[in-house]
Amino acid sequence: TSAVVGFLGLGVMGREMARNLAQAGFTVRAFDIVPGAGDALRPFGVEIVDDIPAAVSDADIVISMLPDTPQVDDIVQGPDGLLANPPRGKLYVDMSTIAPEATRRLSQQLAAVGVTMLDAPVSGGPVGAKNATLTIMVGGEADGFARANPFLRAMGTTLNHVGASGAGQTVKLCNQLICGINIQAICEALALARAWGIDLAQMREVLLGGSAASWMLDKLGVAMIEGDASAGFRIDLMMKDLRLVLEAAQKHPVPLPATALVATQYQNAQAYGEGANGNQALFKVYDRLTGQ
Ligand code: NAD
């Protein structure tokens, strides 16, 4: 019989990751608080269950892909959570992006009931999730990393154990700091070029061939230029990540002036009603600032 995965959170990322686990041959029992969130996964053999205990109790490994720290707190500490219902396999991998400190606290609480928790946030976006090409940054005990490996391999191509509990989240926050500032830089360049009557699509091509090339210019640049605001990685989630970065930089004081400025621009985008749209909608703030 195949190993059992309890999967919690079937949003933009989680639904693709759960499907890839099922297609790799694992038995996947999945739960999302939104009824119907997992319906499209049934044809791939994912069992959609009605509550957390039904997903986790008999699982060899529990994986979560939730929005933020409070939701992860809930599935660990809540009345139905992992502390009250330790999974059979005693292994829990949280792949959401949450606060490193919260991760450490939860991993200590779970260790007290014999459950090993890893933090394993990802980079690569919805396309990486779909194609199982995510980069996965793992914090926690080496033994847990070894046990989680076959499951992580079904979702990503680059797996790195980067340190003790919380280290995966810290590396992911550094990733988000670079992405956020890069997205803002691209918005500024596109706004300036537009004001000077430059062909933006051609400029993107030109810049991709030089030293300003980046994943964001490549992937998000097209959506910015074409005004396609559909959600991939939502503005609200990046704002959450920049907040986590700034909180981390208060705990161990490090001045992050560029991150702080970019966070303000993301707040502007939220105030303009772009929160549920993808990060390329940050460029829409410039439609207003430049009267376009
Ligand atoms: P999402 O909001 O689309 O999905 C989250 C899902 O969790 C939703 O379906 C929601 O209903 C469900 N949920 C919330 N509380 C729950 C609970 N208590 N129990 C069960 N399910 C619950 O978000 P997403 O884009 O899939 O991102 C998930 C995480 O991954 C976030 O931390 C995000 O920052 C991170 N991330 C996202 C991307 C991306 O490009 N979208 C890339 C890398 C990392």
Q: How far separated are the first and last CA of the chain, in Å rounded?
A: 60
Q: What angle do CA 97, 23, 60 make, to 5 degrees?
A: 60
> Per the residue annotation, which of 90, 130, 172, 284 is the catalytic one?
172
Half-sphere exposure (Cβ direction) of 183: Cα atoms closer than 13 Å: 30
In terms of Cβ atoms closer than 10 Å to its own Cβ (0-12, 13-18, 19+), residue 112 is exposed
Establish whether this prediction's ipTM goes over 0.90: yes
CATH fit for domain 4-163, picks 3.20.20.60, 3.40.50.1820, 3.90.180.10, 3.40.50.720 = 3.40.50.720
| Ligand 1, pocket residues at CB < 6 Å | 8-14, 31-34, 37, 65-67, 71, 74-75, 96-97, 122-123, 125-126, 232-233, 237, 241
Check for a shared fold between 4-163 and 170-289.
Answer: no
CB 249 within 8 A of CB 208: no
Per the CB < 8 A criterion, the answer to whether 123 and 146 are in contact is no
Nearest CA to ligand 1 atom 30: 96
- Residue pLDDT tens, the chain, 292 long: 799 999 999 999 999 999 999 999 999 999 999 999 999 999 999 999 999 999 999 999 999 999 999 999 999 999 999 999 999 999 999 999 999 999 999 999 999 999 999 999 999 999 999 999 999 999 999 999 999 999 999 999 999 999 999 999 999 999 999 999 999 999 999 999 999 999 999 999 999 999 999 999 999 999 999 998 787 899 999 999 999 999 999 999 999 999 999 999 999 999 999 999 999 999 998 888 888 7
- Give the architecture-level CATH label for domain 170-289: Orthogonal Bundle (1.10)
Beta-bridged to residue 27, according to DSSP, are 4
Whole-structure pTM over 0.90, yes or no?
Answer: yes
Domain positions in the chain: 4-163, 170-289
**Alpha-helical runs (H) found in the chain:** 14-23, 52-56, 69-77, 100-111, 125-131, 142-152, 167-195, 200-208, 215-226, 235-251, 257-271, 284-289
CA-closest candidate to residue 54, choices 78, 28, 19: 28
Q: Which residues pair with 94 in a beta bridge?
A: 64, 119
